[in-house]
Amino acid sequence: MQWLAELGLRFDPIWGRQSFERNGCRVFWGGLTLEASGEGDGLFRAERDLFLSNGGEIRYGTAMAELLVEERDSESVVCGVVTAVGDQLRSRSVVLGCGGFESSEALRVEHMGEVWRPARVRGTPHNTGDGLRVAYELGAVAHGVYENCHATPMDLHMVDYGNVDLPPSERKNYRKICYFLGVMINADGERFVDEGRNFRNYTYAQFGRSILEQPGGFAWQLFDAKVFDLLYEEYRFHDAHFVESDTLDGLIGQLVDVDHNATRATIAAYNDAVDESVPFDPTILDGRTAVGLDPPRSNWAQQLDTPPFRAYPVTGGITFTYGGLKVDDDGRVLRADGSTIAGVHAFGELVGGVFVAGYPGGSGLTSGAVFGRRAGSGAAHTSSDR
C-alpha cells in the first residue's frame, strides 16, 4: 500500500460498510479500515492511468488464443501470444493476468460440482479459464483448492455479471451481506448458518456457498425496522428486490417458495431464544446470542419484533475461483517437478493456493496488487536477461 501510495494512488476510510456509530464516534470493525479511492473500479482506473502515463500500451479487442513458444537451446521459451485472429504479438516475457474460470459453467461443474451450475457470476464474462488452459498446455501444475471459491450472497433476481449496463460502483449493490443483522431462512423455513458467527468480512464468501447448497439454491434474509438504518446501501438500491409488511405473519406469507408454517415456528423459536440481557453492539463480537438453537446464533441476536418487516430473496454469487497455477516468488509459472516455464509469469486469480476454505474481505484486491507487483518485477528481470 505504501508503494502504491508513493505512486499517487489514494486510499480512503471505508465509512459506509466498515464502521458504525457508537457514542458519537465512528468505530471501524472487523479489521478492514481502508479501501482504494473508488473501491476496485477506482483502483483499476488509477493503475491504468499510471500505466499509460509511463508509456504503457493497451490493445483492446485482442483476445489471446495461445502462447507463442520457441525452442532455444533445447528449452521451450514463451516469447509472446497468438491472438484469436492469428496475429503474433512477440515479447520477451508474458504475464498472465486473465482471471480464473468462474465464468465457465462447464468448468464450474467439473471442478466444483453441479450445485455451481446456476451460480450468478458477479464479475466479468471473460474469466473462462483461458490462462489456465494455455499454461497447462506447457506443463503447468494445477495448484490450490479448485472446489472452493469466493462466493457472496446476491440478490436472487440479479442477472449474470451484475447488469453490465450499470457503472461498476452500482453493480456491487446486488450483494446482500447484512445477514448478521437479521435471520436467513431457506425453502424449508429453517435457519442454516450462524448468521453472527463472526464479522461478515470473514463469513460472507462462505455463506454464499451455503445459500447455493440449500433447496432451490436460494434463501430469504429477514429484518425488522430496528436495523434498517444499519443496512448497507445495497438494501436501498433502486433494483433491490424485497417484500414488506407491517406484521411478521404478513411478511412470512409473502415469502415465495418457502414453507410458511415452518418459518413461523423457526422465527418464534428464534425470538424466544434471544438473550436480552446482553447489549447489542455491531462494532464488536458482542456475544448477544440466541440460546439453545441449532445452528447457533453467536452474536448480534435481536428479536424480530418492530414493524415494518422486510425480507430480501438471495442466492449465491461467485466472485472468483481459488484453484489456479503454482508460481515462485517472482511469479514464474511452475511445473509439477518445480521447474519454471521460461518466459511466463502469472498473478491474481490465476495464482492458486492463496485462499483455501475462506476469504477475508479486501484480500482479493490486495492479492492482485502484491502478486502483480512480483510478477511484473520478475518478468522485467527475466526479460533483461535475454
Where in 231-376 does DSSP place strands (E)? 243-245, 309-321, 324-325, 332-334, 340-346
- Tell which of 297, 317, 337 closes a domain: 317
Q: Under a CB-based contact definition with an 8 Å cutoff, are residues 67 and 81 in contact? A: yes
For residue 96, give every residue at least 6 positions away whose Cβ sits within 8 Å of its Cβ, in sequence order, or none: 131, 134, 135, 325, 333, 344, 345, 346, 347, 350
Are 123 and 216 found together in one domain?
A: no
Residue-level pLDDT at 361: 85
Q: Is residue 241 part of a domain?
A: yes
pLDDT per residue as tens digits for the range 159-205? 878 777 777 667 778 999 999 999 999 999 999 999 999 999 899 98
φ, ψ at 10 (rounded to 5°)? -105, 150
Q: Residue 111 — pLDDT band, cuts 50, 70, 90?
A: very high
- Tell which of 272, 298, 317 closes a domain: 317
Are 376 and 273 found together in one domain?
A: no
pLDDT per residue as tens digits for the range 290-330? 999 999 999 999 999 999 999 999 999 999 999 999 999 99
Residue-level pLDDT at 283: 94
Q: Is residue 163 part of a domain?
A: yes
Residue-level pLDDT at 72: 87
Are 162 and 311 found together in one domain?
A: yes
φ, ψ at 106 (rounded to 5°)? -65, -45
Amino acid residing at 165: D
Are 123 and 252 found together in one domain?
A: no
Q: Is the pLDDT of residue 73 over 90?
A: no
Q: What's the structural domain count of the chain?
A: 3
Are 128 and 210 found together in one domain?
A: no
113 or 171, higher pLDDT:
113
Mean pLDDT over all residues of the chain? 93
Handedness of CA 109, 112, 116, 122 (dihedral sign): negative
Q: In percent, how much of the chain has pLDDT > 70? A: 98
Q: Is residue 373 part of a domain?
A: yes
Bridge partner list, 28: 19
Q: Is residue 348 part of a domain?
A: yes
Residue-level pLDDT at 17: 84
Q: Is residue 58 part of a domain?
A: no
Q: How far is CA 25 from the centre of its chain?
A: 29
pLDDT per residue as tens digits for the range 250-292? 999 999 999 999 999 999 999 999 999 999 999 999 999 999 9
264 or 74, higher pLDDT:
264
Q: Is the pLDDT of residue 386 over 60?
A: no
Q: What's the rounded Cα separation, in Å, for the pair 117 and 139?
A: 28
- Tell which of 317, 336, 365 closes a domain: 317
Q: What is the DSSP letter of 313?
A: E
Q: What's the rounded Cα separation, in Å, for the pair 235 and 240?
A: 6
Q: Is 296 exposed, middle or buried (0-12, 13-18, 19+ CB in 10 A)?
A: middle
Q: Is residue 59 part of a domain?
A: no
Are 104 and 126 found together in one domain?
A: yes
- Could you give the residue ranges of the DSSP H alpha helices within the chain? 2-6, 15-18, 39-53, 105-112, 130-136, 168-171, 204-212, 248-252, 260-273, 363-384
Q: Is the pLDDT of residue 80 over 70?
A: yes
Q: What's the rounded Cα separation, in Å, for the pair 226 and 181?
A: 9
Are 196 and 255 found together in one domain?
A: yes
Residue-level pLDDT at 360: 87
- The three three-digit cell numbers of residue 181, written as one number: 443483522
Are 311 and 327 found together in one domain?
A: no
Match 482504494 to its residue by C-alpha cell. 36
Are 20 and 99 found together in one domain?
A: no
Residue 16 has, within 13 A of its CA and on its CB side, a CA count of: 11
Q: Is residue 234 part of a domain?
A: yes
Average pLDDT over residues 86-113: 95
How open is the CA angle 248-251-253, to the nearest 5 degrees?
A: 110
Are 191 and 279 found together in one domain?
A: yes
Are 295 and 223 found together in one domain?
A: yes
pLDDT per residue as tens digits for the range 368-381? 999 999 999 999 98
Residue-level pLDDT at 330: 96
Residue-level pLDDT at 148: 94
pLDDT per residue as tens digits for the range 340-363? 999 999 999 999 999 998 888 889
Q: What is the residue range of 32's domain?
A: 2-53
Instruction: Identify the CATH number of the domain in which residue 122 sits.
Output: 3.50.50.60
Q: Under a CB-based contact definition with an 8 Å cutoff, are residues 234 and 179 in contact? A: no
Residue-level pLDDT at 383: 64
Residue-level pLDDT at 308: 98
Are 250 and 189 found together in one domain?
A: yes
CA distances from 118 to 94, 115, 125, 216 (A): 34, 7, 14, 10
pTM assigned to the model: 0.89
Average pLDDT over residues 205-227: 96
Residue-level pLDDT at 384: 58
| DSSP result, 83-123 | ETTS-EEE-S-EEE----STT-HHHHHHHH-GGGTTPEE-S
Q: Is residue 33 part of a domain?
A: yes
Instruction: Identify the CATH number of the domain in which residue 304 sits.
Output: 3.90.700.10
Residue-level pLDDT at 41: 87
Q: What's the rounded Cα separation, in Å, for the pair 325 and 351?
A: 5
